[in-house]
Structure 1
């Protein structure tokens, strides 16, 4: 087994891993290596072309995990995660939406000193340059982010329609949500291509002599030593398998930073002997740190949606989504010659983050209190025994505060000018005719799942096997109650939001009955790709895996920095949040290690 030694070993060359690689290698005295399981796809046209992102969902650039069957859901649930240099920022749908101030303050209130919204926002702004209309730019961060204005008929109708029913337009990067917006995208307006962690953070510094990048390498464990039962474990290096199948190790002088994502980071901790003692002993793994909270608190947004028929005399993207040859040829020509059209964008930027007004009346508040009381009696609502009573109570308190505040958004709504198969016969089905769709996302779920290894064999670490992912979607009864009401609310506002309604065919409401709506949700609900929480940042006694400096409890020089440390789900797409977290982490890692 060959061996080298570095000051810092970063496991995972994804979004946060490459931010750290850039910022920490600014010090020429630090020798840094990044170990990434995937390959460098920065020259791949499908990676760079914005509208081609759906083609990456079943590519080698995706881990394509699967959950165990979900008793409350009908669909088979796939768990995409980026398996390429740049991680999920190389395969995602570009949306660059920050979270609410209340959410970040919620993290802080769990006991995470230093994670107030002011510190988070400062770090986030360090990550990007915002390109606004008319050539106006703000900031000077590496990531290039484009912010458009409502230009199409449908974008204007969505914004104006929601304003007409009481929801004024909001700034998606302000931390103050509660209305419609056109979401920024991580697209470079100069090249019309994806801007992501690889070409934004890594490419400008690839030539630094103190930075080594290894792709096609899968870490099998962190090499830990413990001098006595009372001492913290010390990482001496990591063990990994290279693309030719040979085994290697990399020694470490200062720190190991795990940035492998919400699924693979707990996997690496457990393979290294950090996790629940019962599980590790059952698999024959020496227990270095007994912490049963590793891999727990998996959170994600679930969504369903509604489809409405559009009038015959308005344009939609249905022909392009059906891959009609003429529509595809036009799209390719528009993108190739002008950098415009459906290939120049994710086609998902028309959004809204909204409260649920029915909970803000006297009757609604009373009903909400009853729902919380009933959920407390439900044996499945907090049946995960690894969730501490303290965190379960804090989680409920946070979600209740959002539900009852008229200025806070509890749902994320994505509008698209085309058919989406929420209730279709298959995910690939595209209906004939013209349509618009609204995806309806539960922003603050109370359901919590888990991810744990099922094998200690190193042969699985480069594959989607050897893991048990149980997302437990809708296991908390309040999630179904809220999402069903969001569906009913969406149908109601769409039916009266002028001028949006004038471009739709007559529509008969389907969801006046809540029981019918719940059945629809159970049948059609799917998961977004916004996984967080499996190495949560909070006090160990509350269920934490890392402290407020992202140091793994029980280890003196191991940190985790990625979406897995987020203890409460962000309000919408988490891409911007992860860049902000990584920038903030880089600042205090420098303080601690330099």
Structure 2
């Protein structure tokens, strides 16, 4: 059974009139909601259909009340899709599981609501007309109403999506900022972590939360569900797109199958007179292309799909951010979301009253209040190992062009620091911050109590992965997925080190750095040992014996001026082995249909057209050719806004 704006309709009852559209979006995630919503508002006569594999999200508390975001990641969630890799020695002989948004609104309806923008150099490095930071800034501003500070030149004040610090400021976050100011004297505070052109200061994280109502602010509600009066804008929920249909070399529609228990499995067809837009994400979009005969001839022939266009870049260039959640026990007076997440009656009643009356409190919060986009000093880079030292005598960073290798100049290859960071002073190596509650760790490892996390993720891992179909026509079939985490896979920058060592060195340094901040917080009551490396019993780097700290533990913080923990070479090896077993996704998958030259492995051009066919575009996080130093929601939003402008121009509509 299929759902149109909440109405359940058996596929066999769809009329031919319903099956005819001007534009069909395959996927109703973040970018699709923005693009389709803008186009529908600009020209309500356009017949637009969004075909979404997951359910509707309109009006459901799990997608409205901010603190409930963890429920969408819990086992049994109906709003996510999961992709599982084979076990890899690079990550401790375990699989990597990547969860994606599978519902109307996509990840923006279920994510942490982090308002974290890329830096300007990220977009400039895409090296595509219309996609520079200067060109995208008006569209970034167009999406938002920034509620925290007036008249900021890089922020917008009349857009659909609200941006604020949320309904509370926890004492854990305040302590984090206080400790950082005293411990890390080489850095200061920064008023705006997301102004695009600067980094390396501590500050408060903003969120996609409406300051006035305390509700999640997301494109499903602010771009799509607010247009219920437009009968030409339709959402077909719980339907998976199988493939794109063609008349000659022009896309003419899509084939889909209902995705619920009542489905007969019968394939249905809807037609698009003007355009088909793939917006199914870094996993879904390359799969649809490959089932449509667009992809590497080698991959397609292997599964029996006739080759329409040989595009070897489809499904390649998979990227994510490598994340580490490092948990600690917190004092009883710490303000955390643990009680709410566990559904404790007294805690829930207290915060529910505040939320109902004021739209504030911990229910209007995600637990992430403070942090830094960290750019290391020369001394810190030396601690990370050779991959991050800028002592190579070859080509200077100022001689590099975006996306260009050093061999073009006849010079020796650069270090990771030289090639990625030195020429871009706005570019950090990682995000590091505190979270007031236990997230990212198996809750069975902890006792009832309060926790905080000082976590981090690396922005520009060198490791790359890939995802390809294993079935010619089953959209539910798991793909062949290799995330590439901490693997050596041909992305080396300098022969002195590998992609794996560069990525791993940063995780080891991040663990040490985050731990020093955490153990100085006044609410600190020891490490959650089961989620830390296990050092030798008499090691100065060691944590308490494995197992939870008792509720009445007397362990407390060290003084601000306490010496840093000294790690031996053996300790570093222990952290490396642990990091391989503990590293996880940041749910920031992108890059599998890259926007770059076809000869360079590109899949779409700067107008989002798929190479080799007509009437087919891609608009989602599969198009970034290189990574961004941020949570990816803002980038998905601006891709949607840019897609709306491009499509509007081609249709003669002002968007």
TM-score (norm 2): 0.78
Structure 1 counterpart of 2:586, from 528, 542, 545: 528
Q: Quick one: structure 1 residues 414 and 13, their matched pair in 2 at CA, closer, same or farther if it must change by over 3 Å?
A: same
Q: Tell me whether 390-399 or 177-186 shows the greater mean CA deviation.
A: 390-399
CA distance, structure 2, for counterparts of residue 527 and residue 565 of structure 1 = 19
Structure 2 counterpart of 1:61, from 54, 69, 79: 79
Are 2:510 and 1:486 aligned? yes
Are 2:260 and 1:241 aligned? no
What secondary structure, in the 3-state scheme, does the structure 1 residue paired with 2:172 have?
helix
Matched ranges for 1:183-582 at <5 A: 183-226=205-248, 233-242=249-258, 244=263, 245-311=265-331, 314-321=334-341, 323-358=343-378, 368=388, 400-404=418-422, 408-420=427-439, 426-431=442-447, 433-458=449-474, 461=475, 463=476, 465-475=477-487, 476-477=499-500, 478-494=502-518, 504-506=556-558, 509=565, 511=567, 513-582=571-640
Given that 1:485 and 1:514 are in contact with CA atoms closer than 8 Å, whether structure 2 keeps it comes out as no
Given that 2:52 and 2:237 are in contact with CA atoms closer than 8 Å, whether structure 1 keeps it comes out as yes
What secondary structure, in the 3-state scheme, does the structure 1 residue paired with 2:272 have?
strand
* Superposed CA offset, 1:448-469 (max 9, x none): 11111001133xx2x3x33122
Cα offset, 1:70, TM superposition = 2.7
Cα offset, 1:393, TM superposition = 8.0
Between Structure 1 and Structure 2, the one with more helix by share is: 1
Q: Quick one: structure 1 residues 292 and 501, their matched pair in 2 at CA, closer, same or farther if it must change by over 3 Å?
A: same
> How many pairs align?
563
* Superposed CA offset, 1:431-452 (max 9, x none): 4555432112111111111111
Matched ranges for 1:82-93 at <5 A: 82-93=101-112
Cα offset, 1:420, TM superposition = 4.8
TM-score (norm 1): 0.86
* Superposed CA offset, 1:15-61 (max 9, x none): 11111111222124532221112221212111211111111113111
Structure-1 residue corresponding to 2:548: none
Q: Quick one: structure 1 residues 103 and 504, their matched pair in 2 at CA, closer, same or farther if it must change by over 3 Å?
A: farther
CA distance, structure 1, for counterparts of residue 383 and residue 81 of structure 2 = 46
Are 2:162 and 1:144 aligned? yes
What secondary structure, in the 3-state scheme, does the structure 1 residue paired with 2:352 have?
helix
CA distance, structure 2, for counterparts of residue 393 and residue 334 of structure 1 = 61
Given that 1:299 and 1:447 are in contact with CA atoms closer than 8 Å, whether structure 2 keeps it comes out as yes
Matched ranges for 1:122-137 at <5 A: 122-132=138-148
CA distance, structure 2, for counterparts of residue 522 and residue 571 of structure 1 = 22
Q: Quick one: structure 1 residues 179 and 393, their matched pair in 2 at CA, closer, same or farther if it must change by over 3 Å?
A: farther
CA distance, structure 2, for counterparts of residue 495 and residue 406 of structure 1 = 30
Are 2:185 and 1:173 aligned? no
Structure-1 residue corresponding to 2:132: 116
Q: Quick one: structure 1 residues 103 and 499, their matched pair in 2 at CA, closer, same or farther if it must change by over 3 Å?
A: farther
Structure-2 residue corresponding to 1:7: 22
Instruction: Quote the RMSD (CA, aligned, Å).
Output: 3.4
Structure 2 unaligned segments of length 5 or more: list them: 1-11, 394-402, 488-498, 527-554
CA distance, structure 2, for counterparts of residue 451 and residue 371 of structure 1 = 36
What secondary structure, in the 3-state scheme, does the structure 1 residue paired with 2:504 have?
helix
